[in-house]
Structure 1
């Protein structure tokens, strides 16, 4: 039996809304056992009022961080320092970092260098650099809206910035596991490179390779609950299923490009 991961859940409250708490805890619990639950912010601020009952109900330890400079998110440094302290204790197998802030990119990379599993959680506005630094990344706003892939609201356009923003969006889309076209292209490439001599590839191998390429890939982004039905819906693979043993309800699934 595979050993369950021991995890630290670290939440940037100044960057994440309290309405996501159920999703955050579910995602972390699906990954392993949460040993530490900490949330960082300036709790003297009225903006943090939405978190107060949530913290009590879910037994999350609040870490106070005063804002010494106006407009600067000072809780970032506290979260990073705590993460490194917990890493050096040697008790954990992974970290769940909840933020849409690119400031945690180096932290995620450093934790992975120490062979920690890193689950990132944030909204679709999260910079690609932070997403790529994680082993896996979950979009809280997509999960909150029941898998809807509708884009997050945008701010009013800045004059002269429309073309630059579009180029950046197109570039991010090419590297995003929430883009159906990017996922389909990656699936073709992965299947061609890793299939056997007859072109077949085991479904779980294909899934694992896809997650390595796109840490933010999740079938729930496309309103599916399981990987195999999602792949079958794309229409680019033929499938082969069989039971390892007679009368066994469990099936092994292989895919081959059409």
Structure 2
């Protein structure tokens, strides 16, 4: 999905998503366009939504109240789907972002795409394939860094600091393991061939979109790379990175195609 003047409606399943990733989610969605509608659904009368309440004003989220009148029935899902259809027909929206790991949203994701709009999904790795495949792009929250604590270093206990050091040590070990995984080069070549131009070059942003469309589960972080930029930079045996005159726009070219 190319970034232009795109208006995005973001609908969050508060009963299912995690508040600690809200900043990450907002930053991820903003890569594709402007978030013009931001709504979060849940039963705000209970303590379950407490962490979300603290973030409502900070992120200008509009809370939608849904009482659980019947045990076992998810009123939040139903309300979100109804709102999505209402927005689809009444608002000037170019794309939707559905934040949930619930397969119940597969139907609405497919319906939105049938109307010609893009769907961005955000959820956990446990999200069923039916939902992730129904989205044009799906980002797993496990790839996000957790929010930095609001407390100052003086307020952080020595025990927490020790745990932080242990986590960093484990993270480094995991990164070493990740870098031993081999990237499927033929797959990347195929993704490039799908969108390549006559001059054999493809904008990195277009190639990244092609990869995500072909395999929503693909994540450069799984292989130890921060983003697609650093990944293709490391794959210089197979791909050439071409920097444009503005030094920020990058194109990718398959070296074996020359």
- Any gaps of 5 or more consecutive residues in structure 2? 148-170, 175-180
Task: Please report how far the alpha carbon of residue 220 of structure 1 lies from its aligned counterpart in structure 2 after TM superposition.
Answer: 4.0
Deviates more, 1:81-90 or 1:45-54: 45-54
Aligned length: 224
Task: Please report how far the alpha carbon of residue 123 of structure 1 lies from its aligned counterpart in structure 2 after TM superposition.
Answer: 0.8
Task: Please report how far the alpha carbon of residue 145 of structure 1 lies from its aligned counterpart in structure 2 after TM superposition.
Answer: 5.4
Task: Please report how far the alpha carbon of residue 16 of structure 1 lies from its aligned counterpart in structure 2 after TM superposition.
Answer: 0.9
Matches within 5 A, 1:196-211: 202=202, 204=204, 206-211=207-212
SS in 1 for 2:120: strand
CA distance in 2, matches of 1:58, 1:121: 17
Matches within 5 A, 1:86-235: 86-144=87-145, 183-184=184-185, 186-190=187-191, 202=202, 204=204, 206-233=207-234
Task: Please report how far the alpha carbon of residue 138 of structure 1 lies from its aligned counterpart in structure 2 after TM superposition.
Answer: 0.9
Taking a change above 3 Å as real, the CA distance of residues 130 and 241 of structure 1, as seen in their structure-2 partners, is closer
Query: Are 2:40 and 2:62, in contact at CA under 8 Å, matched by a contact in 1?
Result: yes
SS in 1 for 2:36: strand
Deviations 1:27-77 (A, max 9, x none): 122221111111001112221212111113222111111112223322000
Partner of residue 22, structure 1: 23
Taking a change above 3 Å as real, the CA distance of residues 244 and 144 of structure 1, as seen in their structure-2 partners, is closer
Q: Does 1:239 align with 2:239?
A: yes
SS in 1 for 2:10: strand
Deviates more, 1:6-15 or 1:20-29: 20-29
Task: Please report how far the alpha carbon of residue 10 of structure 1 lies from its aligned counterpart in structure 2 after TM superposition.
Answer: 0.4
Deviations 1:74-103 (A, max 9, x none): 200000000000000141001110000000
CA distance in 2, matches of 1:192, 1:98: 31
Partner of residue 252, structure 2: 253
Query: Are 1:191 and 1:257, in contact at CA under 8 Å, matched by a contact in 2?
Result: no
CA distance in 2, matches of 1:28, 1:132: 18
Task: Please report how far the alpha carbon of residue 107 of structure 1 lies from its aligned counterpart in structure 2 after TM superposition.
Answer: 0.7
Q: Output the TM-score relative to the length of structure 2.
A: 0.73
Task: Please report how far the alpha carbon of residue 9 of structure 1 lies from its aligned counterpart in structure 2 after TM superposition.
Answer: 0.8
Task: Please report how far the alpha carbon of residue 192 of structure 1 lies from its aligned counterpart in structure 2 after TM superposition.
Answer: 7.1
CA distance in 1, matches of 2:28, 2:197: 33
Deviations 1:191-239 (A, max 9, x none): 67777999x663635433212101243434544344243134357x523
CA distance in 2, matches of 1:70, 1:191: 49
CA distance in 2, matches of 1:96, 1:196: 29
CA distance in 1, matches of 2:190, 2:241: 22
CA distance in 1, matches of 2:65, 2:25: 21
C-alpha root-mean-square deviation of aligned residues, in Å? 3.3
Query: Are 1:194 and 1:201, in contact at CA under 8 Å, matched by a contact in 2?
Result: no
Deviations 1:121-158 (A, max 9, x none): 00111111111111111111221359x7x99xxxxxxx
Query: Are 2:42 and 2:66, in contact at CA under 8 Å, matched by a contact in 1?
Result: yes
